[in-house]
Structure 1
Amino acid sequence: MTEETDLDVIAADLLLDGTIEGQTEDQTPEQTALDKKINQHFAGLVVRKDLVKAVKGNAIVPSYVLEYLLGQYAASDDEATIQAGIDSVRKILADHYVQRNQSELVKSTIKERGRYKIIDKVSVSLNDKDDRYEAEFSNLGIKGVVVESATINAHPKLLVGGVWCICDIDYFHFDDARVVPWQLGSLKPIQLSNFDFDSYTTSRREFTTDEWIDLLIQSIGFNPALFGRRAKLIQLVRLIPFVERNYNLVELGPKGTGKSHIFSEFSPHGMLISGGEVTVPKLFVNNSNGRIGLVGYWDVVAFDEFAGRKKRTDKALVDIMKNYMANKSFSRGVETLGAEASMVFVGNTSHNVPYMLKHSDLFDELPESYHDAAYLDRLHHFIPGWEVDTIRGEMFSEGYGFVVDYIAEVLKSMRNADYSDRYQQHFTLGSDISTRDRDGIHKTFSGLMKILYPHGEATQEEIEETLRFAIEGRKRVKDQILRIDATMAEVKFGYLDNDGGWHPVTTLEEDEYPTHYHRTRHAEGADATDSTGEEGSGATASAADGVAGTPVKPELYAGHREYQENQRGVSYATMLIPYLRGATEITLTDPYIRQFHQARNLMEFVEALAAVKDPADEVELKLITTESSDGPEKVQKQLEFLLRVKQAAAVAGITLDVELSDTIHDRSIRANSGWRINLGRGLDIFQFVSNDTFDIAAKIQQYRQVKAFGITYIKEPTTQPID
């Protein structure tokens, strides 16, 4: 069925029923099909993620502490149970969580009652003069509390960094002023004590890969609908240090992208420290007493704010860290000790990617002592933090995810497993990839496989996706090392399939900025661009060409191009408009112009056309699309959007006609300029863009990240009809 729709006919009805002005949507979050499935297969182990904010209040406490409590009282999809659980957790926090400004009141309560239960961060040290262990309570502000050796043997992390605990504190006053009146009645760390791994893997089989990835993203606390596939994988790479022993990870990028969140809030097995607040005794071993440092007790040690060219660094620390990252061991005098803590380095960049590539390298922000090829070669993966969106309120999830101490225990339990060979039945790494490069690729691949496919079942395509992602992360490290140390041998990163076919792997920034990424080409000085005049691998024309208003150039590219997810520098002005200059009749076929962001894409396409046309000319733009299938209200909203675009286009001399058809699937643009453009995703190529006036990506398409898509340009005779 095909019908012509005159948007002007429905305008009056839309205005009369108030659709155009002030229509509101139900703000109550509804449980999705995925949420229902999560609760069905992981009942009692998941929690609605927005509840953490609801109960936290002013408590300065990690999310895993709050989710531990919510998991005890509100791990349900029954609204009454959830509300009762929230009330219970709020009461527990109000009665037992120690606020620092109320510590004296809590101490008074303990004294008057004789015993009182508190929630606080507890750290323990050995008093070797009196031969006893003594605890210090962070918020309560008391120290010297005697702790039994059995407690330390059961919970050794109390000795390094401290642990959030639920404790019973007793008060007994002694005439001897040297005796501390505070005594520890009981202590229970806030983390899961045990779980059933077989049940976890059995339940995993009930989810598709896409569903499982979305469950993990919701467990981290984000709304998966606002993330593309690549963006989700980047988030999940941050979990690899928890599931993989001795994994060395670096992430550099702009401020506010949540780089340190995972390591401070997600797991009781990770320790986040400031880059300038660590010493050799604290991190590795104290020679004076022989006590092992953080690497001996924590699964992950993360360095926050690690970047800073002029930061002072301890040369001895850098040297011992190099050895540990390479050999999983460190020396104390004549004795060599081993540990399995993963090392994570996160820091902020002050320049964008093309600037760093043009003037130095992507490790430019690191302190000088760490801007060293030998140290950098120990890194297994480089997360491109510049691809991660700045955290916004709408990005947080209202759906269900694992209680974080549950998933933290799952990840910890898999540190003994090795999935690094799971690709070898399908693929073989390139022969000139070095042993150290292979180790980095293998550890990332193994970690992602354990996170995504803990049941050991993955298709060849899924294995290939994971392998390519692991190779890219190590390639990003190695390519930057080559800039620092020219004596390093270049490596062809890629893999062979079973038929002997070679599959090269590139980084996204390599495809976006080839003239800056490859030093040899840049050194030759030419503004080396592709045949269309733009630097990226998928662009079709420069922005300058798109606004010049000149006739179609014969050198316009004909053929197919692919764009990677998260790529920037793409716009309608460079990708489409050069092929449409001079056209007076254009037909856009796109079945998905239904939602607001899709209508905005159409409006921006009209704006791009208007920017290059002669004001005295008119352009007939025909849109063939489909009617929304989500009910009458969504259809009405869709027609409202289209009407607004039509009215706006008329001002620029562009006549928009709309045809609704239920038989179209392909997406394309055909114009009497002589070009047909086959659009893989239609106009919907951009990832989520906010309406923030102060977000440059909301105004200029080139600063947006795109979804993965392809586009094909076909030159046709200008006499060929377009309808």
Structure 2
Amino acid sequence: MNELDQKINTHFPGLVVRKDLVKTVKGNAIVPSYVLEYLLGQYCATSDEPTIQTGIETVKEILAKHYVHRNEAGLVRSNIKEKGRYKVIDKISVDLNDKKDVYEAQFSNLGIKEVLVDSGTVKKHPKLLVGGVWCIADLEYEFTEDKGSSPWILSTLKPIQLSHFDFEGYVEARKQFTTDEWIDLLVQSIGFNPEMFGKRSKLTQLVRLIPFCERNYNLIELGPKGTGKSHIYSEFSPHGILISGGEVTVPKLFVNNSSGKIGLVGYWDCVAFDEFAGKQKRVDKALVDIMKNYMANKSFSRGVETLGAEASMVFVGNTQHTVPYMLKHSDLFCELPDKFYDSAFLDRIHFYIPGWEVDIIRGEMFSSGYGFVVDYLAEILRSMRNHDYSDRYKEHFSLSSDISTRDRDGINKTFSGLMKILFPHGGATEEEIEELLRFAIEGRKRVKDQLMRIDSTYGNVRFTYLGTDGQAKPVTTLEEEEYPSYYNKAIAEGEDRETLEPAQPGSLPVPSGPLAPVEPVLKEKHLIFQENQKGLSFDTLFGFYLKGAAAITVTDPYIRLFYQMRNFMEFLETVVKHKASDEEVSVHLVTTEDDFKGEQQKENFEKMKESARAVGVNFTWKFDGTGTIHARHIVTDHGWKISLDRGLDIFQHYEMNDSFTFANRLQQYRPCKAFEVTFIKIGEYGNGH
């Protein structure tokens, strides 16, 4: 266990579980993670290895014995008949049979229905009536000659979710963690390894939790396949339900006017629509109209009666095109079905998660560290729906007066949700509050900027906020920074989004902005890059500043690990690309020796040296013995110093062993870490002015 895992176990004993255990016990059981973690929480919520191993065996045994696989349903039914009584784990839904005036349960995997349920159970667990609930139930079998009655009797039923928790204890324990530690604990709770994500990417993952802790929160996430968009809504919480976007009807979602039965929004905290994108999908116009009203006013009609509900709405779908392609030809909502491609509907969305920034899920991204048992965290988040943290920035900041009420609501709700998740105890610094406020503004700005393309009646809004000094601070979206020429372009009048042709090879734009690969005028400058920004490479960043140099010195204490060496090799490639074939260049590296793998480090440098010599680069290196070098910079003998606050380590983790991904082969397709670079003119040979 690392230091964080030990701390987690100390402050949340019995409420956390090792996240790799879920895979260990799952086997071929098709159950949500919260069901498995509920069981693991009963038997494995400890850091004691022998207890964990015993607990795993117990959970496996419970699943083997009591979880109903559909293909073994006949055997389980036989067991119940032979033994008279048997415990099962299954998804149970209940209907009212108004002809007999009784409630009847249906067991999803076991394949039995018309099992009598008493009114008390249904009153206690109303979600049984909509969508069904995973439960541990005791079933009895008693044959009767009466053809009208079922032989199955439900003797006990217990939904698989936490019955009680100590919110005060949770808040007190939160105070023992730094903000970064807490974020990592939450990311581990979702099941991911925090080391694989930058700060911005972690916040993006945590935004997915806001619908569980914020009432009537409307969230959309569109992006490439395989980024885990729907996972949280199907696996994470017993209070959320994931439904296919194509299966939604007014009665299912809101109200059945003939029976008067309330739909999903009346019972679930979060209703997520999977596969929401797809222009060809048929959508009921009446559904869109009711959704628009519900998303704006938290209410819907049943005949003459108006009903309110608190369910948050989440829309997730896949995009077919790249971001620059969408910005050039249409907008970031272009994949939606026509009926939803409606400015009044889209204006009700509080936050747009840029799914293209989220990494495609790979095996090494999963966590083996400790995180909350998810139904514990789900109950905590649910209890926080009663709180409002949206005013917690107002002591330090205020939103610009030309931000509309609807924009303000979106920003406030996102900010409130992030504050509940990260700072339930308060205690955020001004810098931390500002970071969350900027992030909340960016997500709403992404929605509004697209609306202005879709509907010309939307006026331009300056998304700025004011600090206590009265200075206005503008907020931009990351794609605005990356593709300014496309982002700020209005779509030509009359251009129909339906006529979008698939991208032709070579038609995608070259990244624009400060890094466009045109021979630039070299000048002193300072550049700042945001986390997850793409389109960067050593070539475009400082290739032209290396051109013509005969000697280059790189000072970077962190060229030790394999990926750092690979970065340095790519730097040498940049030198080679920018030198004339009949010239030779000397490159000298000053770094520090690795404490454990120094020999391997030297061996790799020797290989680089041999390889570089063949292409006209004389590579030398030395280890700094003092251990005091902190500066990271590149100095050329023809008058430039390039100061890099992260050295050459500017890219986020990517799959190095997969030769068939472009991120592996081309730097501009890798997301960056946040970093800054300064270009300083010095005298020839580094003597200074």
Select 1:626's aligned residue among 592, 604, 628: 592
Equivalent of 1:314 in 259, 284, 291:
284
Superposed counterparts of 1:635-646, under 5 Å: 635-646=598-609
Q: Distance in 1 between matches of 2:173 and 2:609?
A: 50
Contact 2:636-2:686 at 8 Å conserved across structures: no
**Which of 660, 665, 671 in structure 2 is aligned with 1:699?**
665
The amino acid across from 2:25 in the alignment is: V
Structure 2 residue 655 is matched with structure 1 residue 690: yes
Q: Secondary structure at the match of 2:385?
A: coil
1:213-292 superposed matches below 5 A: 213-292=183-262
1:656 match: 619
Give the equivalent residue in structure 1 for 2:642.
Answer: 677
Contact 2:442 2:476 in 1 (8 A): yes
For residue 158 of structure 1, the aligned residue among 118, 125, 128 is 128
Higher mean C-alpha deviation, range 641-650 or range 73-82: 641-650
**Which residue number corresponds to residue 132 of structure 1?**
102
What CA deviation, in whole Å up to 9, does each residue of 1:43-74 have, x standing for no partner? 11000000000000000000000000000000
The structure 1 residue matched to 2:147, chosen from 174, 177, 180, is 177
Give the SS at the match of 1:711.
strand
* 1:590 paired to 2:560: no
Offset of 1:582 from its aligned partner? 1.0
CA distance in 1, matches of 2:111, 2:510: 61
Deviations 1:634-679 (A, max 9, x none): 3333333333322322222212211212221111111023211111
Q: Does 1:51 align with 2:56?
A: no
Instruction: Tell me if structure 2 keeps the 8 A contact 1:511–1:536.
Output: no
Q: How does 1:418-567 map to 2 (within 5 A)?
A: 418-519=388-489, 535-539=511-515, 541-542=516-517, 545=519, 555-567=521-533
Q: Does 1:204 align with 2:174?
A: yes
Note the alpha carbon deviations across 1:167-218, whole angstroms, 9 max, x for none: 0000000012221111101000000011000110111011000000000000
Question: In 1, distance between residues paired with 2:606 and 2:395?
Answer: 55
Relative to structure 1, is the Cα distance of residues 153 and 562 closer, same or farther in structure 2, using a 3 angstrom cutoff? same
DSSP 3-state at the match of 1:276: helix
Alpha-carbon distance in 1 for matches of 2:102, 2:95: 9
| Whole-Å separation in 2 of the counterparts to 1:646 and 1:219 | 45
Give the 3 Å change call, closer, same or farther, for CA 371–521 of structure 1 in structure 2: closer
Q: What is the alpha-carbon distance in structure 1 between the residues aligned to residue 611 and residue 54 of structure 2?
A: 51
Shift, 1:522, TM fit: 9.6
In the alignment, is the contact (CA less than 8 A) between 1:602 and 1:645 conserved in 2?
no
The equivalent position to 2:163 in structure 1, one of 193, 200, 204, is 193
Where does 1:89-128 land on structure 2 (aligned, <5 Å)?
89-128=59-98
User: Which residue in 2 is equivalent to 1:708?
Assistant: 674
| Residues 544 and 578, structure 2, Cα contact 8 Å, conserved in 1 | no
| Structure 1 residues not aligned, in runs of 5+ | 1-30, 524-532, 546-552
Amino acid at match of 2:622: E
Residues 320/606 of structure 1: CA separation in 2 closer, same or farther (3 Å cut):
same
| Secondary structure in structure 1 of the residue aligned to 2:307 | strand
What is the letter of the counterpart of residue 477 of structure 1?
Answer: V
Query: Could you give the per-residue CA deviations for residues 400-441 of structure 1, whole angstroms, max 9, x where no partner exists?
Result: 000000000000000000000000000010110000000000
Code of the residue aligned with 1:505 in structure 2: it is V
Are the aligned partners of 2:347 and 2:447 in contact in 1 as well (CA < 8 Å)? yes
Question: What is the Cα deviation at residue 460 of structure 1?
Answer: 0.2
Partners of 2:677 and 2:686 in 1: how far apart?
A: 21
What residue identity is the alignment partner of 1:313?
Answer: V
How far 1:719 moved relative to its partner? 4.8
2:77 aligns to what SS in structure 1? helix
8 A contact 2:329–2:491 mirrored in 1: no
The 2-side partners of 1:292 and 1:210 are apart by 42
Give how far 1:273 is off: 0.1
**CA distance in 2: counterparts of 1:521 and 1:307, whole angstroms:** 21
Deviation at 1:534, TM superposition (A): 7.5
Identity value in percent:
66
Q: How is 1:390-429 mapped onto 2 (pairs within 5 angstroms)? A: 390-429=360-399
Structure 2 residue 271 is matched with structure 1 residue 305: no
Q: Conserved in 2, the CA contact under 8 Å of 1:538 and 1:563?
A: no
Contact 1:356 1:364 in 2 (8 A): yes
Measured in 1, the distance between the counterparts of 2:105 and 2:393 equals: 48
Counterparts of 1:350-429 in structure 2 under 5 Å? 350-429=320-399
Q: What letter matches 2:608 in structure 1? A: V
Q: Report the equivalent of 1:668.
A: 633
Structure 2 distance, partners of 1:496, 1:221, is: 37
- d(CA) in 2 for partners of 1:348, 1:158: 31
* Partners of 1:522 and 1:513 in 2: CA distance: 18
Q: Deviations over 1:602-624 (max 9, x none)?
A: 01101111122223322110111
Distance of 2:201 and 2:465 partners within structure 1: 23
**Aligned mate of 1:604, from 567, 570, 578:** 570
Instruction: Tell me if 1:576 matches 2:542.
Output: yes
Q: Give the CA deviation at 1:535.
A: 4.8
> Are 1:537 and 1:563, in contact at CA under 8 Å, matched by a contact in 2?
no
Q: Which residue of 2 aligns with 1:647?
A: 610
TM-score, normalised by the number of residues in structure 1: 0.91
Give the partner amino acid of 1:355. Answer: Y
Q: Distance in 1 between matches of 2:512 and 2:200?
A: 18
Q: Give the aligned residue type for 1:272.
A: L
Distance 1:591 1:521, change over 3 A: farther
* Structure 2: unaligned runs, 5 residues or longer: 494-508
Q: Higher mean Cα deviation, 676-685 or 512-521?
A: 512-521
2:498 alignment partner in structure 1: none
1:662-719 Cα distance to aligned partner (Å, 9 max, x none)? 2211111110232111111110000001121111100000000000001111122335
Is 1:672–1:721's contact at 8 Å kept on the other side of the alignment?
no
Where 2:13 maps in the other structure, the secondary structure is coil
The one-letter amino acid of 1:586's match is I
- Quote the Cα distance in structure 1 between the aligned partners of 2:265 and 2:490: 41
Q: Is the 8 A contact 2:546 2:578 kept in 1?
A: no
Q: CA deviation at 1:309?
A: 0.8
Give a deviation string over 1:216-265, Cα, whole Å, max 9, x none.
00000000000000000000000000000000000000000000000000
CA distance in 1, matches of 2:664, 2:511: 22
Alpha-carbon offset, residue 477 of structure 1: 0.3
> 1:311 & 1:677 partners in 2: Cα distance?
52
TM-score using structure 2 length: 0.96
CA distance in 2, matches of 1:325, 1:64: 28
Question: Structure 1 CA distance, aligned partners of 2:176 and 2:492?
Answer: 51
Is the 1:579–1:673 Cα contact (8 Å) retained in structure 2?
no
How far 1:334 moved relative to its partner?
Answer: 1.1
Q: Distance in 2 between matches of 1:131 and 1:448?
A: 46
Q: Does residue 1:332 correspond to 2:302, yes or no?
A: yes
Following superposition, the deviation at residue 538 of structure 1 comes to 4.5
- Equivalent residue of 1:562, what SS? strand
Residues 514 and 535, structure 1, Cα contact 8 Å, conserved in 2: no
Q: What amino acid sits opposite 1:282 in the alignment?
A: K
Query: In 1, are the aligned partners of 2:641 and 2:682 still within 8 Å (CA)?
Result: yes
Q: Give the SS at the match of 1:64.
A: helix
Taking a change above 3 Å as real, the CA distance of residues 126 and 568 of structure 1, as seen in their structure-2 partners, is same
